[in-house]
Structure 1
Amino acid sequence: MRWSVLLLGAYGLFGARIAARLAREAGWRVLLAGRDARQAQRLADTLRAAADCRAELTAVAVDAQSAGLAALLRAERPDLVINCAGPFQGRDHAVPRECLLAGAHYVDLADGRDYVRDFGPALDALAHEHHLLAVCGASSVPGLSAAVVDRYRGDFAALHGVHMGISPGNRTERGLATVAAILSYVGRPLPWRRGGAEYAVHGWQQLQRRRYAGAGLRWLAACDVPDLDLFPVRYGLAELSFRAGLELRRLHFGLWLLSWLVRAGLVRDLAAHAGTLKRASEWFLRAGSDCGAMHVELHGLDAQGRPLQRCWEIAAADGDGPQIPATPAVVIAGKLARGEIARRGARACVDLFTLEECLASLGGFAIRTRYG
C-alpha cells in the first residue's frame, strides 16, 4: 500500500507523537513539516533510527499559514494532511481549504469551539465536490469524548447529562499552542447547560475537586471545548459541562486569579502572554507527577425509569498523557489508508471510529481505563 501523509506541526507536542506512530507504517511516505527545517530534520533522523521505523520519512520546511503551503501541496500531492499546527482559536479555515483544493483528505486536532462549529458549514460543499473527507477535532475533544458517550449511552433509557474533565500531570511536556489555547478562553463566557437551558460560566472558574484513580486529587475549572456546541444537538442533553485542571495548586489557582482580571476587563488578551506564562510554569517542572487523567460522567434514567449515573475514566502514567489526544488522528489516518471510511464531506470528529479502536491504538502505552 502506497500512502502519503503531510504532517503539519510535526515536531510539536502532539505532532511528534503522531509522527512516531505513522513512521511504523510500511509503505507509507510521511512528510514531517514545520517552520524550522532543522527541527523537522532532527525528528526525521531520530525516527529513522528507531527499530520499528518502516515508513519513508522526509523533512519539509513550511509555514502552514503562508503561501508556501499551497506550493508544497501541489509539488507533493499527499493523500492526507494532518494539521497539528495550533492553536486553532481565532483561525479561519484557509489551511483545510487549500488541502481540499489540492486533492488531499484533511484531519486536524482543533479544540477551538468556534473553529469546529463553523468547520462543516464552511467546507462541506468543497469536500463533497472533491470527494474528500475533512475532519476537525480529532483529539481528546470531541473525538475521544464523543466516542465514549456513543459507547455507553446505550446503558441509559434516557440520557440527560454529560459532565467531563481533564487534568494532565505537571511533569508531562506542555506545548506552546496548548498553553495559548487555554489562555484564550480564561475569564471569558462559556455556554454550559442546566435544566435544559444554556447559561454562561466563565473560563477557569466554577472550581471543583475530583479524585482520579491513578492520578489523585485534582482541582478542575470551566474549560471551553467544541463539545459545548456539539453535544446538546447530538445527544439532546439537558445538562452539560466541561472542566480542566492543572495538577499543581499554585498554577491552577494562579490561573484562576488571572481569570478574574480578564473577566473584569483589566487584561484583554491573556493568550498574548502564552510564552511568558509557559516559561513561568516550567519553573515547577520537578513538582507533581507525570500522571494525567480524563473523565466522562453520564447520568439519566435506566430502563425502569430509575436514576442512573456512570463514569468512564482514562489515566496515563510515565508522561504518556499526550498520546491520548494524538490517537484519533492516527486511527483515522489508518482507516482512510485501508479504505475503511467511506464518508466524505467536512465534519467534526464524531462517528469515524469506536472507543475500542481508539483504545487498541493506545496499546503499549502506560494508559488504563475504567467504567462504573
Structure 2
Amino acid sequence: MGEDGRATFTTSMRTGVRILVAGGYGVFGRLLAAELLETTDARLVLAGRNRRQAERAAAELGSERTEAIELDLRDVESVARAAEGCFAIACAAGPFQGLARDLPLAAIRSGAHWLDIADDPGWVLSALGDEDLGEASANAGLVVAPGLSTVPAVSGVLARWCVERLDDPHDAHVTLFIGNRNRKGAGATASALIAGFRDPSPVDLPFGRRVAYRFPTPDTELFRRDLGIRAEFRVALEWGSLGRMAAALGRATAGIGTEGQIRLARALSTLSEPFARFGTELGCVQVELHNEAGSIAATALAGQRLVVLPCALAVRALLSGELDEAGSLHPAAWLPHDEYIARLRSRRVRFLARERRGSRSAGSPP
C-alpha cells in the first residue's frame, strides 16, 4: 500500500505460476487469456469440455505460456484435481446459473484462488454471503472473488465515483450497451434466455437513445446494501430487433428449463455468428444516479474486453502481492474507486461524465 493508503500498481510479480482459465476457449475466456498474457508472466491452462477447441484457442493466442486440458465444470472433483498446483482458477465459463455453487470451495481446498466474471445475482450474492466459504478461504490465505466483470465490478466503481459528486442520491439507473459486432457466446446467450429481457424502455447513452430491457444483476442488492440506493439495471443491444427477439425467446423457452435453454443457446450462438460482421464493436456500462434536484452519470467504454478487465486486474494484484487480503473479495471495493478507474484507464478504457442540475460539479471525467 502507498503512504496515502491506496494500493499501488507494482510491476514486480510472481512468474511461472499456473492459472487455470475455465471456459478458456469461449468468447470471454479468450479475451481474459489474452489480457493475462499481456499483463502477467503466468502460464495459462485453457480448460473446457472440448480439448480440441481448447488446444485451438491456445494455438491462436500464439504464446508458449499456454496449454490446454479437458475439464467439465459439472464434475466438481475433476475441477479440484485440475486446480492442484495452480495459483488460481479464473472462471469465464457461463452461464453461471448452471454451475455448481461449490466450485469456489473446491478451488480453495486445492490451494488455488477463485476469481470469476459472473454477473448472475444468485451466483455473486451467494458467494459473497457464504460465511463458510469466506472462512475457508481466509484460513487458507486465499481469495474468493466473484463478479469481477462489467457488472457488478465496473458498475459498482462508477456508482462510488458518482456518489461522491451527488448529494443524497436515492435511485440509480445502470445500463449495459452491447454492440452488434461483439460476439454472442453460448454462455452469454444462455444467461439472456434464462434471466429474460423484460419491460423495454428508452435510455439515453453517450451515443444516442436506445431501447433497453430490464435484466437481473447483483447491482440491485449491492447498491442497496453498500450505498443505500435503489438500482434498476437494463441491457441495450445495438440492433433493436435483436433485443425484441431475445425478449420473445426468453418468454417462449421459459418452460424448457435451464438445461434446455443452455442447449438452445449453443445453437443460437452459432447461428448468430454471420450477423456479427455488421454494426460496431462498441460496448459500455453507464451508471446514472438521481436525487431530488438532478443527476450525474458516468460511463466506461472499452468494447467487449471490458467484461474481463476487472478479473485480470485482480489476478495481477494477487501475483504482485499487492492484494494480500484473504477471504471473500467485493468485486467493486477491493481497490479505492479512483485507483480502480486509473487502472482501467491504463488498459485503454475511456470514461465519460454527464451532470444535470442539482449535482455538485462532476469536473473532469473519471
Structure 1-normalised TM-score? Answer: 0.82
Against the structure 1 CA distance between its residues 133 and 141, is the aligned structure 2 distance closer, same or farther, given a 3 Å change threshold? same
RMSD: 2.4
Q: Contact 1:119 / 1:348 at 8 angstroms: preserved in 2?
A: no
> Which residue of 2 is the match for residue 322 of structure 1?
304
Instruction: Report deviation, 1:39.
Output: 2.2
> Which residue of 2 is the match for residue 308 of structure 1?
294
What pairs with 1:123-138 in structure 2 (closer than 5 Å)?
123-138=133-148
1:62 aligns to 2:71 (yes or no)? yes
Against the structure 1 CA distance between its residues 259 and 178, is the aligned structure 2 distance closer, same or farther, given a 3 Å change threshold? closer
Which of 120, 129, 135 in structure 2 is aligned with 1:121?
129
Which of 165, 190, 206 in structure 1 is aligned with 2:199?
206
Against the structure 1 CA distance between its residues 233 and 56, is the aligned structure 2 distance closer, same or farther, given a 3 Å change threshold? same
Specify every segment of 5 or more residues in structure 1 that has no aligned partner in the other structure, as ranges: 50-54, 187-203, 302-306
Instruction: Report deviation, 1:290.
Output: 2.5
Q: Distance in 2 between matches of 1:44 and 1:69?
A: 19
Larger strand proportion, structure 1 or 2?
A: 1
Against the structure 1 CA distance between its residues 359 and 179, is the aligned structure 2 distance closer, same or farther, given a 3 Å change threshold? farther
Residue 144 of structure 1 aligns to a residue whose secondary structure is helix
Which of 196, 209, 223 in structure 1 is aligned with 2:215?
223
Q: Contact 1:212 / 1:293 at 8 angstroms: preserved in 2?
A: no
Which of 254, 258, 261 in structure 2 is aligned with 1:271?
261
> Which residue of 2 is the match for residue 108 of structure 1?
116
Which of 171, 180, 190 in structure 2 is aligned with 1:180?
190
Against the structure 1 CA distance between its residues 136 and 70, is the aligned structure 2 distance closer, same or farther, given a 3 Å change threshold? same
Residue 95 of structure 2 aligns to a residue whose secondary structure is coil
Larger helix proportion, structure 1 or 2?
A: 2
Q: Contact 1:144 / 1:355 at 8 angstroms: preserved in 2?
A: no
Against the structure 1 CA distance between its residues 276 and 10, is the aligned structure 2 distance closer, same or farther, given a 3 Å change threshold? closer
Q: Contact 2:176 / 2:236 at 8 angstroms: preserved in 1?
A: yes
What pairs with 1:37-186 in structure 2 (closer than 5 Å)?
37-48=51-62, 56-66=65-75, 67-74=77-84, 77-122=85-130, 123-186=133-196
Q: Distance in 2 between matches of 1:234 and 1:251?
A: 34
Residue 184 of structure 1 aligns to a residue whose secondary structure is helix
Instruction: Report deviation, 1:24.
Output: 2.6
Residue 195 of structure 2 aligns to a residue whose secondary structure is coil
1:243 aligns to 2:257 (yes or no)? no
Against the structure 1 CA distance between its residues 268 and 90, is the aligned structure 2 distance closer, same or farther, given a 3 Å change threshold? closer
Instruction: Report deviation, 1:82.
Output: 0.4
Q: Contact 1:324 / 1:362 at 8 angstroms: preserved in 2?
A: no
> Which residue of 2 is the match for residue 296 of structure 1?
287
Instruction: Report deviation, 1:78.
Output: 1.1
Q: Distance in 2 between matches of 1:111 and 1:364?
A: 21
Instruction: Report deviation, 1:139.
Output: 0.3
The total of aligned residue pairs comes to 334
> Which residue of 1 is the match for residue 360 of structure 2?
none
Q: Contact 1:8 / 1:81 at 8 angstroms: preserved in 2?
A: yes
Residue 106 of structure 1 aligns to a residue whose secondary structure is strand
Deviations 1:154-173 (A, max 9, x none): 11232211111112111211
Identity of aligned residues (%): 26
Deviations 1:78-137 (A, max 9, x none): 111101111111433221111100111110111111111111333112112212110100
Against the structure 1 CA distance between its residues 157 and 100, is the aligned structure 2 distance closer, same or farther, given a 3 Å change threshold? same
Q: Contact 2:213 / 2:235 at 8 angstroms: preserved in 1?
A: yes
Q: Distance in 2 between matches of 1:349 and 1:299?
A: 23
Instruction: Report deviation, 1:282.
Output: 4.1
Against the structure 1 CA distance between its residues 102 and 278, is the aligned structure 2 distance closer, same or farther, given a 3 Å change threshold? same
> Which residue of 2 is the match for residue 35 of structure 1?
49
Q: Distance in 1 between matches of 2:59 and 2:251?
A: 46
Deviations 1:204-259 (A, max 9, x none): 22212234334x4421010111111221111111x320000222122212233345
